[in-house]
Amino acid sequence: MRVLVADKFEKSGIEGLKAAGCEVSYDPDLKGAALSEAISRTGADVLVVRSTEVTEPMLDAGRLSLVVRAGAGYNTIDVKAASRRGIYVSNCPGKNSIAVAELAFGMIIAMDRRIPDNVADLRAGRWNKKEFSKSRGIYGRTLGLLGFGNIGQEMAKRAQAFGMNLVIWSEIGVAVGRDGLPIDLPILVRFRPASGSLIEPIIQVMDTPAAVAEKCDILSVHLAANAQTRGIVNADVLGRLKPGSYFLNTARADVVDYGALEQVVKEKNIRVALDVYPGEPAGGTAEFDFPMAHMPGVYGTHHIGASTDQAQEAIAAETVHIIRTYKEKGVVPNVVNLARQSPASHSLIVRHHDRPGVLAGIFQKLRDQAINAQETENIIFDGAQAAVARINLDTAPAPDLLEIIKKECPDILDLSLVKLDSAREA
């Protein structure tokens, strides 16, 4: 199997791919037309990228059957174009969650204690203890989380350690137990203040992002970028923040209305920490002038949320696991572009002797009637003498066709047609 790695990738990952028997081409600087040419020239079966954009022409340039995003988000890949061509798109969810959560909490503390401003003044030869001694502190404050996936849950763990309350909303919903708490949250930690009394943090699951913004002192965004979340942190949500609140985005720029964010910074004295930006450079170094970065109380990092050695090693290992599994078993872990629900309306269940030509004959009869097999599964019984095939069809065969199929093949032991639940609902 030929693998083209077109982004910065850990040495351990390259070695792991070679150990798995892959022929690896590594060029982290490939972009645009040069990447299309490399896909064609190398005859790559698999393309591995991080931030590099993967376009429809690239998918047509060679014989790709799998694109792996060595990270969590995959908004830089034309997933719809890949789906039309039967090309798998896979990612490495959860492998950088701790790294992002660590950066986010570093940002929270940096905003509260104004650490970047402290450093800048000290480097400029200014001593201003009187000014920088002013800080609210984050113990007992309420952290709002928009998104409660892998990163959001890592944020929740750390918030507990800091003695913070939590309000949560997620675009995919949050399962709540009988006690009203998120069931994905670790066992609650009890915090013992200096007074010696025991308190428990308050944790609430909200119905909307705006409800989270209203209740929190610090709002942190951890949403994937998709059609449902694009621009979801809008003027209405940001306008619900209390004056003097903190806001941070370590997710994707697309989910936040940055114009509205700039407005609330001016009107409500909101402190902001950002790791992602609209129109940010794709490369490692470039000129970049983001107007909000010049505003007092706005702090920024260079889209480095996932960039720790630990995270990159974990992502490399997961990438190797995905490709090795595909190579050895024909199965792709973490696929993001399979149909969530089959378009099939009926399932043909065939109990048969496990002999050559049984299923081939059935497929030929279906083809003659212009009936498409959407999904197929053939389960072999112990001893490999018999099997049961499940063939999901886009339309129901006529009863006489089923009789013909059964009569013409003595190796068919039983034949039945089941209407699928999705078809019943329709």
Q: What is the DSSP string of 269-287?
A: --EEEES--TT--SSSS--
| Average pLDDT score over residue span 6-21 | 96
Q: Is the pLDDT of residue 425 over 50?
A: no
Q: Is the pLDDT of residue 185 over 70?
A: no
Which amino acid, one-letter code, is at 45? D
C-alpha separations of 154 from 75, 95, 96, 311, 419 in Å: 22, 12, 10, 14, 43
- Percent of the chain past pLDDT 70, that is, above it, reads 92
- 2-95+310-329 and 97-305, same CATH topology: yes
Q: Give the whole-angstrom CA distance, residue 190 versus residue 76.
A: 42
The pLDDT, as a whole number, for residue 200 is: 57
**Of residues 72, 54, 155, 177, the one with CA closest to residue 108:** 155
pLDDT band at 235 (very low <50, low <70, confident <90, very high): very high
Specify the fold of 97-305.
Answer: Rossmann fold (3.40.50)
pLDDT band at 179 (very low <50, low <70, confident <90, very high): low
- Percent of the chain past pLDDT 90, that is, above it, reads 80
Cβ neighbours around 221 below 10 Å, total? 26
Q: In terms of CATH architecture, what is 2-95+310-329?
A: 3-Layer(aba) Sandwich (3.40)
pLDDT band at 180 (very low <50, low <70, confident <90, very high): low
List, for residues 42-94, the tens digit of each pLDDT value: 999 999 999 899 999 999 999 999 999 998 888 899 999 999 999 999 999 98
Q: Is the pLDDT of residue 173 over 80?
A: no
| Average pLDDT score over residue span 399-420 | 92
The pLDDT, as a whole number, for residue 158 is: 94
Domain locations in the chain? 2-95+310-329, 97-305, 346-425
Question: Are the C-beta atoms of 135 and 113 separated by less than 8 Å?
Answer: yes
| Average pLDDT score over residue span 319-328 | 97
Tell me the three state secondary structure of residue 28: coil
**CATH fit for domain 346-425, picks 1.10.490.10, 3.30.70.260, 3.30.470.10, 3.90.950.10:** 3.30.70.260
Extract long-range pairs of 77-85: CB within 8 Å, 24+ residues apart: 77/49, 77/53, 78/54, 79/336, 79/337, 81/55, 81/56, 82/54, 82/337, 83/337, 85/59, 85/60
Distance of CA 350 to the CA centre of its chain: 38
Q: Tell me what the pLDDT averaged over the chain comes to.
A: 90
Active site members: 252, 280, 303
- Tokens encoding 399: 């009863």
Q: Give the whole-angstrom CA distance, residue 289 versus residue 112.
A: 25
| Average pLDDT score over residue span 153-164 | 93
Q: Is the pLDDT of residue 341 over 90?
A: no
Q: Give the whole-angstrom CA distance, residue 248 versus residue 221.
A: 6
Cβ neighbours around 58 below 10 Å, total? 28
Q: Give the whole-angstrom CA distance, residue 89 versus residue 71.
A: 12
